[in-house]
Structure 1
Amino acid sequence: MTAAHWYLALGSLLVSLVLSKGMLARLLLSRATVYLFVGFLVSLIVPLGDSLNPIHHAQLLGRVAEVALLISLFTVGLRMGVPILDRRWLVPIRLAVFSMAITVGLITAIGAWGLRLPIGAAILLGAILAPTDPVLASGVQTERGQDPDRLGFNLAGEGALNDATSFPLVTLGLAMLPHAGVTPLNIWHWMMWDVFWSSAAGVVLGAILGTAVGRAVVYLRTRHAEAVGLDEFLSLGVIGMAYGVAQLCDASGFLAVFTAGLSLQRVQNLPLSGTIPLGAASSADGHEYETLATHSHHASEAMSDAVRNFNTQLEHLAELTVVMIIGALLPWSARLDALWWFIPTVLLFVRPAAVAAGALGIATITRGGAMVAWFGIRGIGSMFYLMYAIGHGLSATFAPVFVAVALGVISASIVLHGVSVRPMMGWYDRSPSEPRR
């Protein structure tokens, strides 16, 4: 295929997705399921050969997944209006720490026993497959704000946090690979630096940077009518600054980007004395953007809305790119016969067991708990960590196995959860006694 054919195919796909949105909803198909199918179809029609090899091109594919993950984490942070220190974060934190660790432990046992992997490689596989995706679960996530739906908030918070909390276990698995030379001193350094310092510093740096940038923009707009517009640059700039500062400080860049988005959208207005809010509601209805952006009672919300709207569209493009790549690479998963039992075990046993144990029985108490136990959707985070592992010491002996397992689990998760989300949401909404908030 020539470049013209690729332009035509991609343009036709994007227009077709817009035109068929209502039909896809009636067919119970999520966007990600369609993207996955199209990517797989491309791999069948166009022999990709070595032009898209997940082992040889791990660095390039890892960068693409990394950018998509940063966009998704920042966007999720912008949507969540609950303060960082609010007690409602306890459930997502338990899911992202305890349930994630239990998931890694169970997959480690399954990998060591069923796939005959060394313990270090089994830990690494568990860490790659443990993160859930806050973007691909968008069908479950209702509108969020200062009083969010409990189910959507828990799934979004878990997906955003465990993309970062799984990184220390990825580095642990890499350190424990054969011939990696792990020592007790290495384990101590890992515990203090990769676990405690990285997580805490990432949260603090992201919160400080998001708050500082947001306040500076609101101040300049309301006091001097400066820094108005270019909200797209503001969005990308905060992502780049948060991730870059965190990386330079050996902190978690993913946590920094997420908390930067969370802090940016919580920046308060700076009302001038003697001024009153505009007549319309706090939204932009009835007023020009410049009027709202420079008004001391509305500048913060105008900034947050503009950045969030841009990032939402950018998030859709990132999701399209990564999921189509996963679909195009899907033939690589056919190289492992053990997938027929490994995938059902991870999706049907490991996830519910980890949620029930890590969240103190939440999966067996309410319909919302059952929904959380089922919707552990794998996606961009697992793709990123797979490519990261290949580029940081995973040997050629284990790389094909990891590629086959990860692509198989991600693809099965996208299809199963994408098809089941609307029927299960209908079942969830029919419960009159289910505590939503």
Structure 2
Amino acid sequence: MILSLSEATSLAAEAPRFEAQYIPILFALGAMILVIAWLPFVLRKLPLSLPIVCVAIGFVLFSFPPFSAWAPHPEKTPKLVERATEMIVIVSLMGGGLKIERIVAWKSWNVTWRLLGIAMPLTILLVMLLGYHFLGLGLATALLLGGALAPTDPVLAGDVQIAHDENEQEAEAKFALTSEAGLNDAFAFPFIHLAIAIAAAGGLSGAVLTHWVLDDVLWKLGTGLVLGAGLGRAIGWIIYRMPAGTALSRTGDGFIALGATLLVYAVTEFAHGYGFLAVFVAGLTIRQSARGHDFNKRLHDFADESERLLMMLLLLLFGGMLAAGLLAPLGWKEATFAGVMLLVIRPLAGWISLIGVKRPPLELGIIAFFGIRGLGSVYYLSYGFNHAAFVQKTSLWATLGLIIAGSILMHGVLVTPALRLLHRHYHRLGIVETEEG
């Protein structure tokens, strides 16, 4: 991980203070890990989610000494924020791919294609228009914000994602949100690159648009897809089918999932493709290499545990950002924008994309509404800021912070009762015979 000179200087200045509090930090971290490992059992029947608790703990922790002196802010360490969120997103994408048993096809993934092809571009367009006309952002900045807010977050969407061994035909809402979150991070990337290109060129031109289509859309998406499928197939063969008793599945080591994640991502980035797309596709392909194999669950469980640990740490830091005054620059316009984004733009775009889908209306409503925004959006905004000059950075970080905090709270409170309601609705219609939730 490469840090800027200012980030390295800042971290070096904090070293003596960190050393003095090293043992208390270890105690606090160990206690929090144990508490958060236990919390899912407590929260299972409550209208709360693990992300809500993590952010709350982080906010309280960084509000008091000695931790208040270390309260983070994305503008202080922009490269560190980018790399940390990048890591958790790719781990989450591999876990998402390993969950899905359904073979990729046009008809069986119909809802996913609609969310990607209609809901996401419509979300970007509406955010751009609102940002341009209401917040007074420039074209490039409005597009960057639209691209950052478009994807459903693969990290924080865990509560609405399908379980490893859940019946995907019955839990269509969960499958749709899992597959959408797995793919739309990659499909949002071209819009981030277009925003960067416009900012660097000082405007949109034919040359900018041509390079964007050829490189950022066709080449990078194609490379991500091809390498993800190819490397996933090769890793699947090594895990399950390597001859002479040397198949990696015999080891029982779930950390193979982490190795596969890092390898696929790095190779694809070397080839200038979209590593996010490659990792998710590789996860799908590895799962398909031996459908029903017990080792699939071991791989998924390790990826899921790694994701939860990273999520906990980053959400604690996000709570620290809130304690450090991340939302201080907010005005009524930014607050209104955040509310419209969460309550109007995503639900409306999702609903439009699902018109004509023959599924229960309640199920379609849940799919449209639960477009959770989270750490993936932090990654995209920090990536844009680190690769081009954009204005109103402080205001945009505050706006994004409010949207993420609002999404964590609103979706976290509503997800349990919503899925229970859907479960009962399924039973009334005679659709499902599975366990609740």
Question: Aligning the two structures, in what range does the TM-score lie when normalised by the shorter sequence?
Answer: 0.7 to 0.9
1:112-166 superposed Cα distances (whole Å, 9 cap, x missing partner): 1111111111111111111112332222234355950211110011111111111
Q: What does 1:351-362 align with in structure 2 at a 5 Å threshold?
A: 351-360=346-355
Q: What does 1:4-403 align with in structure 2 at a 5 Å threshold?
A: 4-46=23-65, 48=68, 52-85=72-105, 87-144=107-164, 147-148=167-168, 149-177=171-199, 180=202, 182-220=204-242, 223-225=244-246, 227=248, 228-229=250-251, 231-268=253-290, 301-330=293-322, 331-337=325-331, 338-360=333-355, 366-395=361-390, 397-403=391-397
Q: Does the C-alpha gap of structure 1 residues 53 and 183 become closer, same or farther in structure 2, counting only changes over 3 Å?
A: same
The residue identity in structure 1 corresponding to 2:288 is R
Deviation at 1:391, TM superposition (A): 0.9
Aligned to 1:414: 408
Q: Does the C-alpha gap of structure 1 residues 434 and 62 become closer, same or farther in structure 2, counting only changes over 3 Å?
A: farther
Aligned to 1:296: none
RMSD value over aligned CA atoms?
2.4
SS in 2 for 1:319: helix
Deviation at 1:350, TM superposition (A): 0.2
SS in 1 for 2:295: helix
CA distance in structure 2 between the partners assigned to 1:320 and 1:414 by the alignment? 13
8 A Cα contact 2:153 2:376, kept in partner: yes
CA distance in structure 2 between the partners assigned to 1:137 and 1:363 by the alignment? 24
SS in 2 for 1:243: helix
8 A Cα contact 1:80 1:146, kept in partner: no
SS in 2 for 1:137: helix
CA distance in structure 2 between the partners assigned to 1:3 and 1:249 by the alignment? 41
TM normalised by structure 2 equals 0.86
Question: How many matched pairs?
Answer: 405
CA distance in structure 2 between the partners assigned to 1:26 and 1:237 by the alignment? 35
Deviation at 1:233, TM superposition (A): 4.4
Deviation at 1:4, TM superposition (A): 1.5
Q: Does the C-alpha gap of structure 1 residues 62 and 186 become closer, same or farther in structure 2, counting only changes over 3 Å?
A: same
Q: Does the C-alpha gap of structure 1 residues 303 and 429 become closer, same or farther in structure 2, counting only changes over 3 Å?
A: closer
8 A Cα contact 2:95 2:300, kept in partner: yes
Q: Among residues 409, 428, 433, which one is paired with 2:429 in the alignment? A: 433
8 A Cα contact 2:62 2:71, kept in partner: no
8 A Cα contact 1:103 1:351, kept in partner: yes
1:74-109 superposed Cα distances (whole Å, 9 cap, x missing partner): 000000011233522221122123211100110111
Q: Does the C-alpha gap of structure 1 residues 267 and 170 become closer, same or farther in structure 2, counting only changes over 3 Å?
A: same
Deviation at 1:188, TM superposition (A): 1.1
Q: Does the C-alpha gap of structure 1 residues 29 and 51 become closer, same or farther in structure 2, counting only changes over 3 Å?
A: closer
CA distance in structure 1 between the partners assigned to 2:68 and 2:81 by the alignment? 15
1:166-212 superposed Cα distances (whole Å, 9 cap, x missing partner): 11111111222376354211111101221122222212211111111
1:272-295 superposed Cα distances (whole Å, 9 cap, x missing partner): xxxxxxxxxx7xxxxxxxxxxxxx
Percent identity reads 30
Deviation at 1:64, TM superposition (A): 0.7
Bigger Cα displacement from structure 2, 240-249 vs 60-69: 240-249
8 A Cα contact 2:58 2:317, kept in partner: yes
Deviation at 1:365, TM superposition (A): 6.4
Q: Does the C-alpha gap of structure 1 residues 181 and 20 become closer, same or farther in structure 2, counting only changes over 3 Å?
A: closer
Q: Does the C-alpha gap of structure 1 residues 249 and 20 become closer, same or farther in structure 2, counting only changes over 3 Å?
A: closer
Bigger Cα displacement from structure 2, 24-33 vs 250-259: 24-33
Bigger Cα displacement from structure 2, 40-49 vs 63-72: 40-49
What runs of 5+ residues in structure 1 fail to find an aligned partner?
270-281, 283-300
CA distance in structure 2 between the partners assigned to 1:84 and 1:324 by the alignment? 36
Q: Does the C-alpha gap of structure 1 residues 178 and 63 become closer, same or farther in structure 2, counting only changes over 3 Å?
A: closer
8 A Cα contact 2:200 2:389, kept in partner: no
The residue identity in structure 1 corresponding to 2:244 is R
CA distance in structure 2 between the partners assigned to 1:53 and 1:307 by the alignment? 34
Bigger Cα displacement from structure 2, 425-434 vs 90-99: 425-434
Q: Does the C-alpha gap of structure 1 residues 434 and 34 become closer, same or farther in structure 2, counting only changes over 3 Å?
A: farther
CA distance in structure 2 between the partners assigned to 1:237 and 1:20 by the alignment? 28
Q: Does the C-alpha gap of structure 1 residues 146 and 28 become closer, same or farther in structure 2, counting only changes over 3 Å?
A: closer
What runs of 5+ residues in structure 2 fail to find an aligned partner?
1-17
SS in 2 for 1:341: helix
CA distance in structure 2 between the partners assigned to 1:304 and 1:64 by the alignment? 26
